[in-house]
Structure 1
Amino acid sequence: MTATAALLAFTLAAAILTVTPGLDNALVLRTAAVEGGRRALLAGLGISTGCLAWGAAAAFGLGSLLAVSTFAYDVLRIAAAAYLFYLGARLLWNTWPGCRQAGQAGGSALLAAELSARPASGGAGWFMRGCLTNALNPKIGVFYVTFLPQFIPAGADVMRFSLLLAAVHAVLGMLWFGLLVAATRPLARWLSRPAVMRGLDRMTGAVFIAFGLKLALEKR
């Protein structure tokens, strides 16, 4: 297989994986609908950066540790599950006015406002949220370690070609996230209704918790 053929084959496979419904798409769609397109794209950029980080780890051989070490895999798996559960729980908390008021009365205004828009937070928080969602997921690391080698042609520089494939995956992700954000714009007025926003937060929170529980309970 030539380098061009390998690159085209990987691009097709990565495109299919990118558009498949999952946690990343749910995060970007929810952020676009409730927080706006700019923050959704920042979250998407964080997700793509997480892909690049795993690609670099796989290229340098660090990702192989997750494939052979059950302990390392489990530590990262539990951390990812806890983070997803945390995000999901805060989204759900923010949809219940009674809980939100109780949290604020008890001095926990931060709890209710964590996922709300705050001008002072800038874009770093949304970028980090997307990045951590991907970077903490050991399944992504194992995927890169097992998936990328299939598309590295004989004689190619393994490290450079692995980084190139990871970059292709990241670019495809950003293009897809851009399309998702654009798709929400015609519905922006409807999506901005409080009842719709609460419904989206509850649905996304439930998805995050479900993914977190699945990750926590799964066995290799």
Structure 2
Amino acid sequence: MSKPDSANDAARTPDLGRRRFLQSAAAAATIGAAPHSPAEGQPMATPPSMPAPARPTVATLPVHLTINGRPYALQLEPRVTLLDALREYAGLTGTKKGCDRGQCGACTVIVDGRRINSCLTLAVMHEGQSVTTVEGLAAQENLSPLQRAFIEHDAFQCGYCTPGQLCSATALLDEFGHGTASAVTQDVRTAPHALTDDEIRERMSGNLCRCGAYPNIVAAVRVVYERG
């Protein structure tokens, strides 16, 4: 029998040691890189819930208005506009919110006989005052002369600006009747003598109509003025 080649075995021993060391190191690195999963049946830990930040409370104020001849007692925040008070609190949605910047006139209402853009003023500023919206122009079931004229002369198309147009035109006729001059009145020191088309266009210039029904609006206002 031949003796084992002890010299060859001794030469292979360092290679085997290095190979086992590299294999063990690779296995350890693989295990360390693997994500740790929770044990079966053990619920995931949930982070503690943060309390929602407290919303600042705004005090409300009682606001008393007479709208279309009816008294209203509204509890409003000071920042509520007259437009939102009419629509959201009084339930009178005839007044429309167009630009909400006082540029289109769709929200025009009459306050103590004077037409204003209701989106540009706060409701609390009109405590105790009288407000007329488009719902208050008709008497019972009878349309006002201007409302009938708007229908007769087709002075609207989509109708969105019409409530503001009607309130503005109603106030316009009252203003002219009281002798109020406009930017086109020839002599502002005296009352204008006639409500011309130029006068009507100037006095209605704050009310925009995207449908372009301006000639018919002017005709409707003029015919009501002429009928007296």
TM-score (ref. length: structure 2): 0.21
Q: Which has a greater percent of strand?
A: 2
Could you say which structure has the greater relative contact order, defined with CA pairs below 8 angstroms and 6 or more residues apart? 1
Higher helix share: 1
